Structure 1
Amino acid sequence: MSKKDKRRILALKDKEVREAQFLIDEFKVGDTWRIFRIMSEFVEGFESLADMGSAVSIFGSSRTKKGEPYYEKARLLGERMAKSDITVITGGGPGIMEAANKGAYKAGGKSIGINIELPFEQKPNKYTTHLISMKYFFIRKVMLVKYSQAFIIFPGGFGTMDECFEALTLIQTMRIKPFPIILVGKEYWEGLLSWIRERMLEEKLIRESDYELIQLCDDTDDISRVVSDFINKENNYK
C-alpha cells in the first residue's frame, strides 16, 4: 500500500472528513435547506456554460503523470480541439484532466474545469480559462452531458467509468441525443469491450446498436476528425 493510500485511510477515520465526504447523509437530518445549495450550483453551471459554443468533454485518471503517453495524447487532443474552435471541458483536476486543459489553454482556446470539492486528493489545475467549483457529483455530470457534443475517455478508475456509462445509459434510454463516445487506449479498454460483447451482447442484455455507441480509437487525427465532423453536422442542422 502506498503512503498516499495510507494517508487517505487515516483521513477517512477523521469525523470531520467523513461528514464532508458522505454528503448523502446530510439529507437524513431534515436539512432541506440544502436544496438551495443544489439549485445554486445548477444556476451557476447553466450561466457559466450556456454561451461557450461547441464543446467536448475529456475524461481520464487524475493519477496519470506528466510525460506519460496518455497525458501527452490528452494534451495534444486538447490543443487540437482548441485550434478547431472547440471548447475543452474536464473535471478540472490533475492527470488527464490537467493535460487536456493544458493543451487547450496553451493553444489559446476555451478551457473549462468543473471541479469537485473533496476533502482530499483533487485540487484544480492551473490551465483553465474558467473554473467552476461544485460540491455534488451529479450536478457536474448534468453539466458535462448537457454542454458536450462528444465524450473522449482515457483510461481511468471508477469515476471515469461512471461518467462513461452515465452517457451510454442516457443515450440508450433516449434521454439525450446520441453523440460520439470515444475510448482512447485500445490495450486498456479491450478487456472491458470484450466482456460487454461476450456477456451483455451475447446474452441479449443490450442491443447491437447499444454496443455500437462506443468507439475505440487511439489515433489523434481520427479522433479529431470524428469530433469535428459530428459537430459540423450538428451545427448545419441548427
Structure 2
Amino acid sequence: MSDERLRPRDPHSADEELLEADTLAIVSQLDDAARVRRMAAEIEMGFDRLRPLRGHAVSIFGSARTPADSPEYAAGRTVARRLGEEGFAIITGGGPGLMEAANRGALDAGALSVGLGIDLPGEPGLNPYVGIPLEFHYFFARKIMFVRYARAFVVLPGGIGTGDELFEAWTLVQTEKIRHFPIVLFGSDYWGGLLDWMREAMLAGGKVSPGDLDIVHLTDDPEEVCRIVCAAEELRPPAP
C-alpha cells in the first residue's frame, strides 16, 4: 500500500466528517462542540423554513434514476397532483427522477412543492420544480423534516435511499413514535415481491408480528392513495 493511501484525506461531506471523525481515514476538521452547533443550526433552519406547512404535507420518495418519459414518472406526477388537489403540500428529496415527478405534480395542482436536498458528491442539485428549497448536510437532520412536517409517506419505486426512508417510517409507526401516519407503497409489481418475502421469511420465522405488515398499504391507484391519506386525517385530533 502506498504512503498516499495511508494518509488521511479531507472528508467529502459533513456526514463523513462526523461519522469517520474517530478513524484515521479522514482529516478531522471540527471538534465535537462545533459539530453540535452545526447540527443544531441545521435542524433550526429546517424548523424555521417548514413551520408554515403546519405538518399538512405528504412526503413522496422514489428513484432519482427514473427517466421523465417513463410510466413510473407519469404515475408519480399524478399521485402528487391528486394529493396537492386535496390540499397537501408535497415534500421530496428534491432530486431528479421520481422526486422531480412529485414536485412537478405539486405545481400542477398549485400546491407547495418542497425539496430537501442533501450534500452528496456528484449530486445534480435540486430539480426545477422545487418551490421551497432546503439544503442539508446531515442525513439525520433531513429525515426529521420528512417525518415531522408530513402526514403520510408515499413510496414510489426506488432504490436503497428510498428503502431507507420506507423502513425508517415503518419502524417509527411500529414502535408508536408516530401515529395515524399512513405509509403507502405505490406499484404492486415493484413492491409486491418485498412484501411476499417479508411474509414468507420474516413473518413465518417469527421475526415480525402479523400487524407489523399491516402498517403499509400497497396500491396502483392514485385515488386510493388519496383515500388512505385523507382517511388518516379524520383520526387526528383537530388542530387548535
TM range (shorter): 0.7 to 0.9
Distance in 1 separating the partners of 2:35 and 2:157: 34
Q: Higher helix share goes to which structure?
A: 1
* Equivalences for residues 41-120 of structure 1 within 5 A: 41-53=42-54, 54-120=56-122
Distance in 1 separating the partners of 2:22 and 2:128: 33
> 2:39 aligns to what?
38
What is the aligned counterpart of 1:22 among 8, 13, 16?
Answer: 16
Q: Assess if the C-alpha contact under 8 Å between 2:13 and 2:121 holds in 1.
A: no
Equivalent position SS for 1:234: coil
Following TM superposition, by how much is the alpha carbon of 1:233 offset from its aligned partner in structure 2, in angstroms? 3.5
Following TM superposition, by how much is the alpha carbon of 1:232 offset from its aligned partner in structure 2, in angstroms? 3.8
Distance in 2 separating the partners of 1:185 and 1:16: 41
Mean CA deviation greater in 50-59 or 16-25: 16-25
Distance in 2 separating the partners of 1:92 and 1:152: 15
Distance in 1 separating the partners of 2:105 and 2:132: 15
Distance in 2 separating the partners of 1:124 and 1:27: 32
Distance in 2 separating the partners of 1:111 and 1:91: 11
Distance in 1 separating the partners of 2:63 and 2:201: 26
Deviations 1:119-173 (Å, cap 9, x if unpaired)? 2134101112211100111111111111111100011111000000001111111
Equivalent position SS for 1:46: helix
Counterpart AA for 1:119: P
Distance in 1 separating the partners of 2:180 and 2:174: 8
Q: Hey, which bits of structure 1, 4+ residues long, moved more than 6 A?
A: none
Following TM superposition, by how much is the alpha carbon of 1:17 offset from its aligned partner in structure 2, in angstroms? 6.8
Distance in 2 separating the partners of 1:178 and 1:200: 24
With over 3 angstroms needed to count, the CA separation of the structure-2 counterparts of 1:129 and 1:19, relative to structure 1, is closer
Distance in 1 separating the partners of 2:128 and 2:237: 31
Q: Identical aligned pairs, as a percentage?
A: 41
Equivalent position SS for 1:77: helix
TM-score by length of 1: 0.88
With over 3 angstroms needed to count, the CA separation of the structure-2 counterparts of 1:165 and 1:122, relative to structure 1, is farther
Mean CA deviation greater in 221-230 or 83-92: 221-230
Q: Assess if the C-alpha contact under 8 Å between 1:20 and 1:119 holds in 2.
A: no
Equivalent position SS for 1:215: strand
> 2:5 aligns to what?
none
Following TM superposition, by how much is the alpha carbon of 1:18 offset from its aligned partner in structure 2, in angstroms? 4.3
